[in-house]
A and B are shown apart, each in its own frame.
Chain A
């Protein structure tokens, strides 16, 4: 969290104030009112991630009703990119952190595994803007994906064994080709920006 520059923190604070209507905390409604998010198929999960206690790295579970700027910043810190100075170890930690964030988004009941139901739900949400075709195929796709995870991680299962769900280790394994630490980032602004068109309904 301390890896943000002063400029970046200032800008994020400005944005926080805009979203919260100059209050101390923001609630889910504040985020849901952002018009640009309306088109996003997974917006509920994204908003949920902000209020998820697991993403605050305090070993708590559950969710907040409202969050303050510190928690906001904590969630945002998951999206920092690696720099040239980041060592291999730090990259590993970063990758784990980001994968954990994604994992938490899928594992809604917080039992440490992504079950088939949860995965189906996730794929359904992803295809939710695609109409009827999306919904039918979603189940098949989720099943196929789950099968693939199971096949890769636990190749030899007896016919009567049951694969409980994707654990965090398995999740890491299947996504290791994507190099999360380089992909999952956004560009935080160093300079002041006045392009705050979003969230105009809240400000």
Chain B
């Protein structure tokens, strides 16, 4: 999962900045503390004000006393609610900012802990000021506003492949594990409460069903807490997806158990029939949620097919459809979380094939931003609600709850793993089991569910809430803080940071087909067979419906390859085309090292057509590079309804056509080579240095000509023959009509025939060019077919 936390600021900033940051935080907290009590008056007060205001107006007609015209007036109530909301969001964001300015703190203590502490402080301040703490963790606010962004972010970026490979394990943990936890904790808690020592403790009055309800609330692993903690420890993909997937999928179980017990706690008895209905209900809730999500996902994908003319609102469709999926599921009491996940996961491959690169970036950053703010707010509110919430501390109940939760989790994980390992190929080791068990954090969902309980119906609500908060604090603080050192200690495999290479992608696909083939030869329908069938169905029918234009036929490997090219090209441009290498591994290998050498011609005296001397090649590259940069700077401002056609965007068919034109152009240049008499500039010539500098956008002194690609000053090589200028002109003319897209790789001289002695002039830039993945055409004479018919 990409991290939502920003990187550490350089410590070279000195101590003053963190101190200033802290000061700012304190000031803001105080401000918050003082303003909020003012605003703690809720709507009845506002309407009261209105009434009195009306009164005044009415009186005014009768009494007509002249008031001085108010030049400056303060009307807080007018803007109260949005102002408070903004203030909370601002506080949350500044907190987040502040933590990362303090260098060592964020590496020791996970962010979630710090935020809860801040919440406690704020709540404490408000209480000290004597005002009533606003009911911030109101269940409606939580479930309808704070939770969806986090879940959508998780669902949209869910790594599908590992999720699907482990879906059986995840479901086992989510369903069976949660049910086990609920009954174990609830049942044993009831037993412990009953066997209380003689003094008629209030605990005796707890009913079994209430305990079971409490058990079901407390037993669900919380996705928000898991995300917050696991994101910082970077464990390997398998464990991450196991714990995280479990936390998402157990929502259905929690919903069913919760409603079941709430319903029947009033009545007092549960029959077998009810239990059976509960199971059916679970299936309906889970599958129904997924179905609702999938429907909205397909709608979103279908809509995105037509957005090529209104790129600006593309991200909106993603967000709105997903949110509506969540709300629709909640309307039917289905699992909203599963709906959201299904919606995000279903729509993603199709939407991403349809939308522009900018929309993709927008969606990514908006989701990260919202989920980050939401998460921060949730933890702060948890702290505030702790200070505020009605508490009823009972030592026995609370400590037994905490212990039982831990024990139940461990037994559950160990037991289930034993069963699961019989069916898994890649078995879960003891270390894995430990991490899965230890990573079962509880969070705000449990608290909100507890908060929803009716005080009249559940006499022990306060005690429940206290216990829930204690468990949450325990898991988040103790487990959250210690999991990182434990992961280091146990040497658990960490996440592989390396980017996926094209070789890996080729072989993953190859392996898929190979294993499917072997399964077919063996004659049994294993899961490769079904996966292959699904893929073919997808390619044949679904993609045609949901993806616009030519992209619908693009095989996955090619899509991956194009994406990689795009990324490299963008990196290249963003690095200013300068000396910095875009690739991870600096190497001097280029296409000419790989292309098979042409057999040397029969006569030694006669050489193959003289290829472009390296210096000339360099100049051409420089021209291309500079043109590309110019194009970036040329983007005009856009009105709200359209965006200027993005040079990176115009579809890959355009790109390929451009490539073909480039190739033809290069062929022409090669032919003209004979006329070129200019020697390449020596390495340290001022032209070369200027050339290097010239790649840097700031150093550029060219003035953009309004409609055409700007003319390159002819300083690049010293004495220019008129013919070489013609070459440049050719380029300019060729480039003028088009908004030049990605940097195309200039022609590669076929190996071996470069003029000796010019080998190392512009090593750096060459290295740069050669790292581009698109090799361009080989310069073999016999290769007649154009790149694209």
Contacts and interface: CB of A to CB of B under 8 A. Distances in A.
Which of B502, B523, B596, B773 counts the most A-chain CB atoms under 10 A from its CB?
A: B523
Contacts of A174: 501, 503-504
A148 B585 CA distance: 9
Contacts of A61: none
Contacts of A136: 787-788
A157 B553 contact: no
Contacts of A102: 507, 510-511, 514
A189 B421 CA distance: 16
Given A144-B774, A159-B754, A174-B504, A34 B520 contact: yes
A82 to B, nearest CB: 8
A186 B528 contact: yes
Contact of B510 (A122, A149, A151): A122
A69 to B, nearest CB: 13
B165 to A, nearest CB: 10
Interface of A: 12, 15, 18-19, 31, 34, 36-37, 39-43, 46, 50, 76, 79, 81-84, 102, 105, 115-117, 122-123, 126-127, 130-131, 133-134, 136-137, 140-141, 143-152, 154-163, 174-175, 177-178, 182-189, 193, 195-199
Nearest to B525: A195
A97 to B, nearest CB: 15
Contacts of A137: 557-558, 561
B516 to A, nearest CB: 6
Contacts of B328: none
17 contacts: A46-B514, A46-B518, A46-B521, A102-B514, A122-B506, A131-B553, A133-B553, A140-B561, A143-B775, A147-B594, A150-B589, A154-B587, A175-B507, A177-B504, A186-B526, A193-B523, A196-B524
Interface size class for chain B?
Answer: 35 or more
Nearest to A149: B503
A159 B425 contact: no
A36 B520 contact: yes
Which of A83, A115, A155, A187 counts the most B-chain CB atoms under 10 A from its CB?
A: A187
Contact of A156 (B501, B555, B587, B759): B587
A130 B555 contact: yes
A147 B536 CA distance: 31
Interface in B529-573: 529, 532, 536, 553-555, 557-558, 561, 564
A42 B507 contact: no
B45 to A, nearest CB: 62
Nearest to A178: B504
Given A40-B520, A83-B427, A177-B501, 20 more contacts: A34-B520, A36-B520, A37-B517, A84-B427, A117-B596, A134-B558, A137-B558, A140-B774, A141-B506, A144-B502, A145-B502, A148-B502, A148-B503, A154-B587, A160-B752, A162-B597, A178-B504, A186-B526, A188-B522, A195-B524
Contacts of B56: none
Contacts of B132: none
Given A144-B773, A155-B587, A178-B508, A15 B557 contact: no
B555 A147 contact: no
B525 A159 contact: no
A121 to B, nearest CB: 13
